[in-house]
């Protein structure tokens, strides 16, 4: 089977230029149904999104993959700042660009999100009826509930103290503070969130596939407090929703994901994958990509 055609693209998102790739199926006549994809917290498109896109394109789907604003190849300031509200709106900008492209069936566009964008595609689908199908992989869903589950009380208090200092510093005109996304801290267990995340990012960096900065603005953690996809999930229907959940996920907690899925209305499907947050990307990639691809093919 011939490899799908991939071209570099860029599009405007309220004055910010977002950059990525457009995949088109080979050997199939247009128009094509299409999928829009963006990566999770701080990650860039070269960290496995190309692998998913190839699977989808070989099944006859066009695929738009882009870096989130302020990250990777995309524009936007301040660099390394993550704003979930802006990222959710960017899915809409991506769809607006995609539906104007030759050979794309604008009536058959789906969205795929993972981890931090896994919840954003749920919100996007509830608010934008151009979206006809959703795949949400190991989704981050509720900032405050997640904070309660994974962060000790003293850690929560420390976070709020840091955010208060940063708000005052920014108001005084200081530059945004940058903090690490994760670390390979030997004092932490190997299965801790920070070390699992570090191993995931290093998998792509060590192979030369991706360039990634291990830093975000501290204000990104402030923006994260706005994150709540759970209150939108029942409004996704009648758009078909697939959730792919890791059974032992301490980063986007499994319990929150299963509770959210129970609130979703039909049509919906749940796929459960054994292991931690990053297994669907790596060891269980065949399972996660096959399930997502089948869902898009069925509903688009």
C-alpha distances out from residue 39 to 88, 100, 117, 252, 265, Å: 12, 23, 6, 15, 25
Distance CA 245, CA 260 (A): 11
Identify the band that residue 1 occupies on the pLDDT scale cut at 50, 70 and 90.
low
Is residue 199 in some structural domain?
A: no
**How many domains, the chain?**
1
Domain-embedded: residue 262: yes
Q: Is residue 46 part of a domain?
A: yes
pLDDT for residue 122 is more than 90 = yes
- Indicate whether 176 belongs to any domain: no
> What CATH number should be reported for the domain holding residue 18?
3.40.50.1820
Rounded-to-integer distance, Cα 267 and Cα 298, Å: 12
194 domain-assigned: no
The model's pLDDT over 198-215, given as tens digits with 9 standing for 90+, comes to 999 999 999 999 999 999
Q: Rounded CA gap, 278 and 257, in Å?
A: 15
Q: For residue 6, what are its two tokens?
A: 């991939």
Query: Would 11 be classed as within a structural domain?
Result: yes
Closest CA to 62 of 18, 9, 16: 9
Q: Which range of residues forms the domain containing residue 97?
A: 5-150+226-299
The three-class DSSP label of residue 143 is helix
Question: Is residue 176's pLDDT more than 70?
Answer: yes
Q: Which residue has the tokens 């980063």?
A: 251
In this predicted structure, the answer to whether residue 191 has a pLDDT above a threshold of 90 is no
- With contact defined as beta carbons under 8 Å apart, do 11 and 94 qualify? yes
pLDDT in tens, 223-268: 999 999 999 999 999 999 999 999 999 999 999 999 999 999 999 9
Res 27 pLDDT > 90: no
Separation between Cα atoms, residue 130 and residue 156, nearest integer Å: 38
Closest CA to 87 of 114, 113, 64, 69: 69
Report if residue 146 sits inside a domain. Answer: yes
Q: In the block, which residue shows the tokens 């990509």? A: 289
Contact 113, 87 (CB under 8 A): no
pLDDT digits (tens, 9 = 90+) for 142-168: 999 999 999 999 999 999 999 999 999
Helices (DSSP H) in the chain: which residue ranges?
49-58, 84-98, 116-127, 143-150, 153-171, 193-206, 219-224, 254-263, 285-299
Q: Is residue 277 part of a domain?
A: yes
């Amino acid at each position: 089977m011939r490899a799908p055609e991939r071209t570099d693209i860029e599009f405007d998102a309220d004055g910010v230029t977002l950059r990525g790739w457009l995949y088109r199926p080979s050997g199939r006549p247009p128009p094509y149904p299409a999928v829009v994809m963006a990566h999770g917290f701080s990650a860039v498109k070269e960290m496995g999104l190309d692998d998913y896109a190839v699977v989808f394109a070989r099944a006859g789907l066009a695929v738009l993959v882009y870096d989130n604003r302020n990250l990777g190849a995309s524009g936007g300031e301040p660099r390394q700042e993550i704003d979930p509200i802006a990222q959710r709106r960017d899915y809409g900008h991506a769809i607006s660009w995609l539906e104007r492209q030759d050979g794309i069936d604008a009536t058959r566009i789906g969205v795929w999100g993972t981890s931090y964008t896994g919840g954003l595609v749920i919100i996007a689908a509830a608010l934008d009826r151009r979206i006809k199908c959703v795949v949400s992989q190991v989704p981050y869903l509720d900032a405050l509930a997640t904070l309660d589950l994974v962060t000790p009380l003293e850690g929560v208090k420390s976070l709020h103290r840091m955010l208060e200092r940063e708000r005052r510093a920014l108001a005084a005109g200081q530059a945004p503070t940058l903090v690490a996304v994760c670390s390979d801290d030997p004092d932490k267990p190997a299965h801790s969130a920070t070390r699992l995340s570090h191993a995931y990012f290093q998998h792509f960096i060590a192979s030369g596939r991706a360039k990634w900065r291990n830093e975000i603005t501290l204000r990104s953690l402030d923006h994260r407090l706005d994150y709540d996809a759970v209150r939108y999930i029942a409004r996704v229907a009648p758009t078909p929703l697939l959730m792919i959940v890791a059974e032992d996920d301490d980063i986007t907690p499994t319990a929150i994901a299963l509770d959210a899925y129970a609130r979703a209305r039909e049509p919906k499907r749940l796929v459960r994958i054994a292991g931690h947050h990053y297994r669907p990307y790596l060891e269980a990639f065949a399972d996660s990509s096959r399930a997502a691809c089948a869902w898009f093919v069925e509903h688009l």
